Amino acid sequence: MTDFLVSGSAALPDQADGLRRLFAGTRTRFIAVAANPDVAFAGLALERLASVCASAERKVLVVDAARGTPHELAGVDLASCIEPLGDNLSYLAARGLPVRFVNTRGSCETFLDAVADAAPDAALVIVHAEVQELGRLFARRAPRPLLLAADHPVSVTSAYANIKLLAQRHGLMAFDLLLVAAANSPRTPRIAEQLALTAERFAGAVLHDWATIDPAAQSDWPRALMRLAQSQMADGPLFAAPAHAAVAQVAR
């Protein structure tokens, strides 16, 4: 049993309806999430993001390559290791799996094709991985990685380190941000602003958008999170078809 649990949503019906209309009939895409070891509620952030995406009645698979020991059969039958969590949501513990697919150029992108083969019904795949592994998976697919940070300096420093590595080593120059913090924290706009300025000044990168997730709220679907999810689903890179088939915006 994984610690990735989905707690049900309290989003307004019109918000979910808007997502369904916007993404009806679109092809499957990936969202790349850079792991941050200094964010205590990373699992909660993934849960909220996945729940918002699943509200569009799209089948969502969360591939957690940063946490969770994979099933012993993962190397033989990846599909059998996918755990259903709800009607539109499933989970794959995948720590250590991408490197098994590394090629002579250091790329692990064929792991994404293996995931697509294992979950052909998934309309969206959220991949949570350490930043070095994320670069090996997505460098050729040019995503806009989603950063994680919290309301304390160490986590923000780690988020910037992720920006710097992905920008300088893999040429990924635009990012989104999920801040895990109290909804009423007066510091969150300043954190996002400073991260955006630092990214632009020292890495030439852009923080495209950001949203806050309040870990104390049982079901937190703020408008900014809905907006960020919509943008990620629209702009995320398309995966290969299976063989059988500038300035941070203030969250309000």
- 60 membership: H or E segment, kind and range: strand 60-64
Taking residues 123-130, report their average pLDDT.
96
Alpha helices, DSSP H, located in the chain? 13-23, 42-54, 110-118, 131-138, 153-170, 188-203, 223-235
What does the domain layout of the chain look like in residue ranges? 13-235
- Please give the structure tokens belonging to residue 229: 């999810």
Cα–Cα distance measured from residue 65 to residue 118, given in angstroms and rounded to the nearest whole number? 16
CB 159 within 8 A of CB 248: no
- For 238-252, how does the pLDDT look when each residue is reduced to its tens digit (9 = 90+)? 654 444 333 333 333
pLDDT band for 156, please (50, 70, 90 cuts).
very high
Higher-confidence position of 166 and 8: 166
CA distances from 244 to 59, 91, 113 (A): 18, 22, 11
Contacts of 92 (CB under 8 A, 6+ apart): 61, 62, 63, 64, 70, 78, 81, 82, 83, 115, 118, 119
Q: Please give the average per-residue pLDDT across 95-118, as a whole number.
A: 93
pLDDT of residue 195: 97
pLDDT of residue 96: 92
Which tokens go with 132? 């070095």
Lowest mean pLDDT among 7-11, 30-34, 47-51: 7-11
Q: Following DSSP, what letter does each residue of 184-252 receive, concatenated?
A: T-TTHHHHHHHHHHHHHHHH--EEEEEEEE-TTSSS---HHHHHHHHHHHHHSPBPPPPTT---PPPP-
Any bridge partners for residue 176, and if so which?
Answer: 146, 209
State how far the Cα of 219 lies from the Cα of 222, in Å rounded to an integer.
Answer: 9
Q: What is the mean pLDDT of residues 106-115?
A: 94
Residues 13-235, CATH architecture: 3-Layer(aba) Sandwich (3.40)
pLDDT value of position 220: 63
pLDDT tops 50 at residue 28: yes
